[in-house]
Structure 1
Amino acid sequence: MKNYKESDYALNKFSEGIVYRFADRIVEITLEDYLVENPGKTAEDFMELKALSDEIYHQQVIDENRTSRLDVSINGLEETEAFATASLDVEPIHKKDTEKAIEAARQLLDSGGLTEVQRRRFLLHFFQGLSIRQIAALDEVDYRAVWDSLYWASKKLKKFFYE
């Protein structure tokens, strides 16, 4: 698995512009560059593109992490640099489960079955992609408290998922 801090997603997410990594260089398109090259566009248009690029890079990280786990031995002792490609029969199942999980999450959030703390942490972790440690830092609590909240929220989510 790639080092997160060196990933295209992290590079793009934490820069002010839109970042493209090529084999020999990294190019960042700033708001000013965008407005000069696209005179009819606004800063809001640029922010939409930035959000879209963040989303694309984030999906790439998710896909890489999911498929890289397929390339580990059954004992988990040997890892290789090459990433396996998801088989054709796995991809539709994954997409179907993702849609079902999102619907279950919506039902859980709408049901009022989570405490306010669980709800907020659930949204930050699963929908905004913050790590447990990042949420703990925001809440100024031990990471275990966040882990517990997410654990109980996920247990409640399973009830909606398997209905």
Structure 2
Amino acid sequence: MKNYKDSDYALNKFSEGIVYRFADRIVEITLEDYLSENPGKTAEDFLELKALSDEIYHQQVIDENRTSRLNVSINGLEDTEALATASLDVELIHKKDTEKAIEAARQLLDSGGLTEVQRRRFLLHFFQGLSYRQIASREGVHFTSVHESIEAATAKLQKFFEKI
């Protein structure tokens, strides 16, 4: 199994853009690149693609972990632990909950139910993967201010989620 820090998922998750790893190079598509190549698109469209790419890379990590036992010889098989594989119904429930949460987030973001500061920090944290400290550094504020904003937005999202 690959080291998490070296995975495509970690590389994509902790970068500001969408990252593609090729055999000989790594390419990162930034928000500016995306908007210049797609004049009719918005930053929110980019954030949706970023979230989708994170989800795809994450699923690849899960799939790799499930099949990592295939690389063990038959003689060493009894020394390995069985890998936990979620049942199909659990996976479908998780997927449904994820889709429901994304829909709730979209509705909340579009409804004006968040202040501009909460909205911006929520997007930076959950869709671009920035930490509270990274956002605080970017905005020149203390990280507890960022934490409080995101927690308030998350509480509002939870209420939206329950309504759907």
Fold match, TM over 0.5? yes
Q: Which amino acid aligns with 2:56?
A: Q
Measured after TM superposition, the shift of residue 137 of structure 1 is 1.6
Normalised to the residue count of structure 2, the TM-score between the two structures is 0.58
Shift in alpha-carbon separation, 1:108–1:4, aligned structure 2, 3 A: same
Normalised to the residue count of structure 1, the TM-score between the two structures is 0.59
Looking at structure 2, the residues matched to 53 and 106 of structure 1 have their Cα atoms a distance apart, in angstroms, of 15
Matching residue within 3, 19, 22 for 2:21: 19
Equivalent residue number for residue 58 of structure 2: 61
Number of aligned residue pairs: give it. Answer: 129
Looking at structure 2, the residues matched to 16 and 95 of structure 1 have their Cα atoms a distance apart, in angstroms, of 22
What's the CA shift string for 1:80-111, capped at 9, x where partnerless? x9863332121111111111111111221122
Equivalent residue number for residue 25 of structure 2: 28
Looking at structure 1, the residues matched to 117 and 21 of structure 2 have their Cα atoms a distance apart, in angstroms, of 34
Looking at structure 1, the residues matched to 94 and 121 of structure 2 have their Cα atoms a distance apart, in angstroms, of 24
Contact 2:18–2:53, Cα closer than 8 Å, also in 1: no
Equivalent residue number for residue 109 of structure 1: 109
Moved over 3 A (4+): 2-5, 9-18, 52-59, 61-65, 81-84
For structure 2, the 5+ residue unaligned runs are 29-35, 39-48, 66-80
For structure 1, the 5+ residue unaligned runs are 21-25, 32-42, 46-51, 69-80
Contact 2:136–2:143, Cα closer than 8 Å, also in 1: yes
Higher relative contact order (CA 8 A, sep 6+): 2
RMSD value, Cα: 4.1
Shift in alpha-carbon separation, 1:103–1:83, aligned structure 2, 3 A: same
